[in-house]
Amino acid sequence: MRNQNKQESFKKLQALLNELPWYVEEYINHKLRKLSTASLFNYCHDYKIFFNWMIAEQLWNGSMKDIPLERLEQMTVLEVESFLNYLHYQLDNKELTVNRKLSALKSLFNYLQNIAETPDLKPYIHRNVMAKIEFNEIKESMETRANKMEGKILLGDEYEKFRLFVAHDYGEINKENKKVYNFYQLNKERDTAIISLILGSGLRLSELVGLDLDDIDFSKYCARVIRKGNKEQFVFFSRTAMADLQDYLSVRTIKYKVDKNNKSLFVSAPMGPKGTTRRLTARAVEKLVEKYAAAFGKPALSVHKLRHSFATRYHQEINDVPKLRRQLGHSSIQTTMIYTHIKNDDLKMAVDKMDMPIEQDE
């Protein structure tokens, strides 16, 4: 199933590349082993915005696919600054988004100047205007970002309260609504396992939905995931997450009528005329988190905020940034450092005590 998803993502990327100049495809192929297809798709989307802007501003009279290298080499600083202003003021992109799109362009132009070679070993372009363009200065400090995040994540006893809400309380408050209640009864073990796994590991959404049954190591409490850059890594998760996952797996085949060849860990209810059970999509997970978060009284809570909740708790209890960086799969330790700025004085249990005392009853 994972291979099928990768193939579908690759097809979408190829379809977008067919609209872009030949040198963009060459650059993407150069990056294909290093970055995920999702990241490269975003790059191509950014390039499409840039090239469409060039045509709209009459900087090129012709189709996007035919924009030559010579035109890129002749780009002026004023033209690029005009494009960045267009992103900021007309498309209403925030400074971070403008920086991301500028970074994509810088990477492409750097490839054309310093890596790609003509048959006679000359660079594709000699002049790189993007090297002269500086990123927007982001004035927001880590403390400010942390303070904004703090009100949107689970802190203290909210962590376990939210898990229990998904596992039990949501059904109790919706008993009178038969349609909602029956749908909840069908999916409660699966949904609890999803929430518990994110809260007990900090997995990304893409990593979670990409899991197969064979990726779970039940003896070591870890999961094999493919992280950004197509890197394989084993990520540990809590005993509570394991217990909730086993509860879900005990009903997965019966409740979802799963074919033995379907190795997807999280699946949706049978759909369509043939009653096909499919891998749960990222959007479906987002929607179920939104549903429970709104009912819980924290509508700002999202899948990514659950990941932040795990990271905050981990840091407060373990206080080991390098280990947290590895657990979250961050490429830069600076990204992980934000969790050192979130204040949460009422946390008292260590990460391996976050679990309910399930062993004590045995």
Based on the residue annotation, tell me whether 330 is a catalytic residue of this protein.
yes
Q: How confident is the model at residue 349 (pLDDT cuts 50, 70, 90)?
A: very low
Give the active site residue among 48, 263, 330, 341: 330
pLDDT at 339: 59
CA distance 65 to 22: 7
* pLDDT given for residue 46 in this prediction: 96
**CATH code of the domain made up of 144-354:** 1.10.443.10
Tokens of 293: 């978060």
Looking at 101, 188, 190, 204, which residue is catalytic? Answer: 204
pLDDT digits (tens, 9 = 90+) for 272-315: 677 788 999 999 999 999 999 999 988 888 898 888 888 878 76
What's the burial of 8, exposed, middle or buried (CB within 10 Å: 0-12/13-18/19+)?
exposed
The larger pLDDT score, comparing residue 56 to residue 341, is at 56
Residue for token pair 């970074």: 103
Summarize the confidence of residues 165-192 as an average pLDDT: 95
Task: Say what the pTM is.
Answer: 0.57
Cβ–Cβ under 8 Å, residues 293 and 299: yes
Q: Which two tokens stand for residue 258?
A: 């799963």
Residue 138 pLDDT level (bands cut at 50, 70, 90): low
Residue of 2 and 103 predicted with greater confidence: 103
Lowest mean pLDDT: which of 49-53, 92-96, 177-181, 227-231? 227-231
Cα separation, 181 vs 272, in Å, equals: 22
State residue 80's pLDDT score: 96
pLDDT, position 346: 39
State which amino acid sits at residue 61.
N
What is the reported pLDDT for 168? 95
Residue 268 confidence (pLDDT):
93
What is the rounded average pLDDT of the residues 84-94? 94
pLDDT band at 71 (very low <50, low <70, confident <90, very high): very high
Q: Span 183-199, mean pLDDT?
A: 95
Report the alpha-carbon angle 102-105-109, nearest 5: 140
Per-residue pLDDT band for 345 (boundaries 50, 70, 90) equals very low
Active site residue 178: no
User: Which one from 304, 323, 326, 341 is the annotated catalytic residue?
Assistant: 304
pLDDT at 353 over 50: no
Is 45 designated active site? no
pLDDT at 231: 80
Q: Where are the domains of the chain?
A: 2-139, 144-354
pLDDT value for 27: 96
What would the pLDDT profile of 239-282 be if each residue is shown by its tens digit? 999 999 999 999 999 999 998 889 999 999 887 677 788 999 99
What is the pLDDT at residue 333? Answer: 64
- pLDDT of 226 higher than 70: yes
pLDDT at 143: 52
The number of CA neighbours under 13 Å toward the Cβ of 252 is 28
Q: What is the pLDDT of residue 14?
A: 93
Q: What CA–CA distance (Å, rounded) separates 267 from 276?
A: 10
Which pLDDT value is given to residue 337?
67
pLDDT at 340: 58
User: How remote is the C-alpha of 36 from its chain's centroid?
Assistant: 11
Question: Which residue among 2, 48, 152, 228 is the active-site one?
Answer: 228
pLDDT at 347 over 70: no
Quick one: average pLDDT of 118-142?
85
Predicted pLDDT of residue 328 = 78
Average pLDDT of the residues in 146-169: 78
Token code pair at residue 126? 């000699």
pLDDT at res. 331: 66
Q: Is the pLDDT of residue 214 over 70?
A: yes
Average pLDDT, the chain: 85
Q: Position of tokens 């992103």?
A: 87
Residue 335 confidence (pLDDT): 62
CA-derived radius of gyration, the chain: 24
Question: Which is catalytic among the residues 227, 279, 307, 313?
Answer: 307
Round to whole Å and give the CA distance between 36 and 145: 27
